[in-house]
A and B are shown apart, each in its own frame.
Chain A
Amino acid sequence: MPLKNAHTQPHTSAPSWRWALLGLALLIAFLLPWPLSPLWIRIATEVIMWAGLAQSWNIIGGYTGYLSFGHGAFFGVGAYMTGIVMLHLGWPFALGLLISGIAAALMAVIIGYPTLRLRGAYFAIATWAFGEMIRQIATILEITGGAFGMQLPSYLNLPFFYYLFLLVTGLTYLTTYLLLERSPFGYKLLAIREHEEAAEMVGVDTVTIKIKAFALSAFFPGVLGGIYAYWVTYIHPDSVLGAQLTDFMVVMAFLGGIGSLWGPFLGAVVVQLVNRVLWLVWGEGTFYLIIIGAAICTVVLFIPSGIIGLLQSRIFLPGTAWKEIRKKVKW
């Protein structure tokens, strides 16, 4: 085995039919707004936003193995930053998005610097506390409009937001692919997730690498939050800083398969579609939470590699998935 590709190719390269599939999916995504009604464009937009958020969480939670339970805060910070930039400073939306992303990433560095030195549950606890702190701050500050929130100028153009989310989410996946699946950086994260002490001993500067990964995983939610704020035009602490935001990112990533490129995408599609269909059928309610809870239990217990794991290894071998599950269940 030649070592030619050491540090550049953690995995074997994708076969060409996968590229064809990807091209087809992109084409469908690009043409999607034409046949859809405004309601379904909104739903499709949400799905794409969530796909981006779940992937962002996956960078730190899946690839690095550090569970962030405050990731919603980066989305909220982004939403508020864009709001502040547009409303109070009168700067353009695009600049707001950039500032939102950078602010979220900077915040991740500040939070990560002390907490990513610790291992185990401390990071999870610290990020959870951080998320709660940001929500409280947004509730009392004047510049964020306190508990009432902020009203942004409205720009009613559904396809515009659809394509903007598509672009940013697309960039999230491209970045993940290039930096985490195809570079030494990805190898180092893998080493940290697999065995952190051993990673240190082979010369990986674990703290710096983890902080970089955390900042990267915060940047995109910041940008997505900014787009969201302009899209829905009205934001308040519960809508952009609520705990469900983080919960959904975690749930989607887990359901789809953490630490994989396409897992979070599949998870986001399934969860958000189920969520919206139930909403259409039964109206506003919390019933979908029960279904999602049951789905998560099933995934964690029986298919820890998520939907993507099922697709990759077993769906083409009929029956084996069930055999696998039956083996684990003691009747």
Chain B
Amino acid sequence: MLEVKQISVSYGLAPALWEVSLSVKDGKIVAIVGSNGAGKSTLMKAISGLIHPGEGTIEFDQRRIDHLPPHQVARMGIAHVPEGRRIFPHLTVIENLKMGVLPIKGQKRAQEILKNVFNLFPILAERQRQLGGTLSGGQQQMLAIGRGLMSDPKILLLDEPSLGLAPIIVDMVFEVIARLNSQGQTILLVEQNAFLSLEVAQYAYVLEVGRIVLEGEASKLIDDPHIKKAYLGE
């Protein structure tokens, strides 16, 4: 479904990604694990078109998307839930969610998706008239994911969904990620929290200072000695 081939990205003279390749198959959760500054968010931004790679290609459903502007990438069915949530703080919860609906989707479909989002996150249904900026961090994360889902995406890009959240909320968010996947949602997940993401994902890549250093079945990576040492604190 998503094929990233040998992309390199640099900010001015500072390279951020070197020849990174990865692929996400339909219906899977793929995780990208790595520490701060490894280039995880850069990779996500390159996929969603916010930045364009200097080299390499990105294909989505057999079409090249690496030079499309972000709104076109979004319309093709890639929903990016950015790091730090980026909700619209002065809009209500329901307005934030409506923003996620793409004009190409019909009203009926939009209704169904909204119902599903409220099912996943009942708190959003309760707070739909509240301003986005007044929600707690965890609720804002749920809202950001909900907004991403409203476009009925073929793939959901989740950038650090656990960032700055209390452990109990993190568990909840990851439960939802697993539930979404069981409904057939394809997800590309970027996380510092290696343990949780390897648990939920089927396949994973390890990104270190801009390069993929390791990849494999998530269940095998969890037992990899290098991973254990570097990311799981053992």
A202 touching B74, Cβ below 8 Å = yes
A residues less than 8 Å from B71 (CB atoms)? 200, 203-206
* B89 & A3 in contact (Cβ 8 Å cutoff): no
- Provide the B88-129 mask, 1 if CB < 8 A to any CB of A, else 0: 111100110011111100010011001000000000000010
Bound Cα distance from A6 to B94, whole angstroms: 10
Once the chains bind, are B86 and A203 in contact (CB under 8 Å)? no
Question: Judging by beta carbons under 8 Å apart, are B80 and A201 in contact?
Answer: yes
Please, which residue of chain B has its CB at the minimum distance from the CB of A206? B71
Within 8 Å of chain A (Cβ to Cβ): is B69? yes
Q: Tell me whether A187 and B99 are in contact (CB under 8 A).
A: yes
A213 interface contact, C-beta 8 A: no
Decide yes or no whether B190 CB sits under 8 A from chain A: no
Complex Cα distance, B81 from A257, in Å, reads 33
Contact status B70-A201, CB under 8 Å:
yes
Tell me the bound Cα distance from A7 to B110 in angstroms.
11
Chain A residues near B82: list those with CB within 8 A: 197-198, 201
Q: Contacting chain B: which of A95-103, A188-196, A223-231?
A: A188-196
Q: B101 is contacted by which of A6, A199, A200 (Cβ under 8 Å)?
A: A6
Q: Which residue of B lies closest to A198 (CB)?
A: B86
Beta-carbon contact of B107 and A3 below 8 Å:
yes
Contacting pair A203 B102 (CB below 8 A): yes
A202 touches B147 (CB 8 A): yes
* In the bound complex, CA of A138 to CA of B88 (Å): 43
Q: Are the CB atoms of A194 and B90 closer together than 8 Å?
A: yes
Q: Is B151 interfacial (CB 8 A cutoff)? A: yes
List B contacts of A6 (CB < 8 A): 98, 101, 107, 110
| Candidates B98, B102, B107; contact of A187 at CB < 8 Å | B98
Partner of A7, one of B94, B103, B147: B103
Given the known inter-chain contacts A7-B103, A194-B90, A195-B88, please indicate yes or no for A201 contacting B95, CB distance below 8 A: no
B88 x A198 contact (CB < 8 A): yes
Query: When the two chains form their complex, are residues A191 and B98 in contact, meaning their CB atoms are under 8 A apart?
Result: no
Q: Say whether A327 faces chain B, with CB atoms less than 8 Å apart.
A: no
- Tell me whether B211 is interfacial, beta carbon within 8 Å: no
B200 at the interface (CB under 8 A from A): no
Question: Which residues in chain B, 48-107, are within 8 Å of chain A measured between CB atoms?
Answer: 48, 50, 69-72, 74-75, 79-80, 82, 86-91, 94-95, 98-103, 107
Tell me if A2 counts as interface (CB < 8 A to partner B): yes
**Chain B: interface residue total (CB-CB under 8 A):** 32
Best-buried of A6, A7, A199 by chain B (most CB within 10 Å): A6
B89 touching A194 by the CB < 8 A rule?
yes
Given contacts A2-B111, A197-B50, A205-B69, contact A7 B98 (CB under 8 A): yes
Flag if A3 contacts B50 (CB, 8 Å): no
Q: What residue of chain A has the Cβ atom nearest to residue B102's Cβ?
A: A203
Which residues from A are CB-within-8-Å of B74?
A: 200-203
- CB B151 to nearest CB in A, in angstroms, measures 6
A119 interfacial contact with B, CB 8 Å: no
A197 to B74, CA, bound (A): 12
Chain A residues with Cβ below 8 Å from B99 are 187, 191, 199, 202
Assembly CA distance A184 to B91 (angstroms): 15
Chain B: which residue is nearest A187 at the CB level? B99
Is the pair B128, A1 in contact by a Cβ cutoff of 8 Å? yes
Q: How far is the CA of A210 from the CA of B229 in the complex (A)?
A: 49
Query: Is B69's CB under 8 angstroms from A203's CB?
Result: no
A7-B75 Cα distance, complex, nearest whole Å: 16
**Contact code string B147-176 (vs A, CB < 8 Å = 1, else 0):** 100010000000000000000000000000
Interface centre among A184, A197, A199, A202 (most CB of B within 10 A): A202
Closest residue to A208 on the B side, CB-wise? Answer: B71
Q: Is A304 an interface residue (CB 8 A)?
A: no
A3:B111 contact, CB within 8 angstroms: yes
Closest partner residue, chain A, to B78 (CB atom): A201
> With the chains together, A1 CA to B69 CA distance in Å?
33
Which B residues lie at the A interface, using CB under 8 A? 48, 50, 69-72, 74-75, 79-80, 82, 86-91, 94-95, 98-103, 107, 110-111, 114, 128, 147, 151
Give 21 pairs: A residue, B residue, CB < 8 Å, sorted on A.
A3-B98, A3-B107, A3-B111, A190-B88, A191-B99, A194-B88, A195-B86, A197-B50, A197-B86, A198-B82, A200-B50, A200-B74, A201-B48, A201-B74, A201-B79, A202-B79, A202-B147, A203-B75, A203-B103, A205-B69, A205-B71
A contacts, CB < 8 Å to B: 1-4, 6-7, 10, 184, 187, 190-191, 194-195, 197-207
Q: What 8 additional pairs, Cβ within 8 angstroms, besides A194-B88, A198-B88?
A: A187-B99, A190-B88, A190-B91, A197-B86, A201-B48, A203-B74, A205-B71, A206-B71
Top 5 closest A-B pairs, CB basis?
A: A203-B74, A194-B88, A200-B70, A198-B86, A205-B71
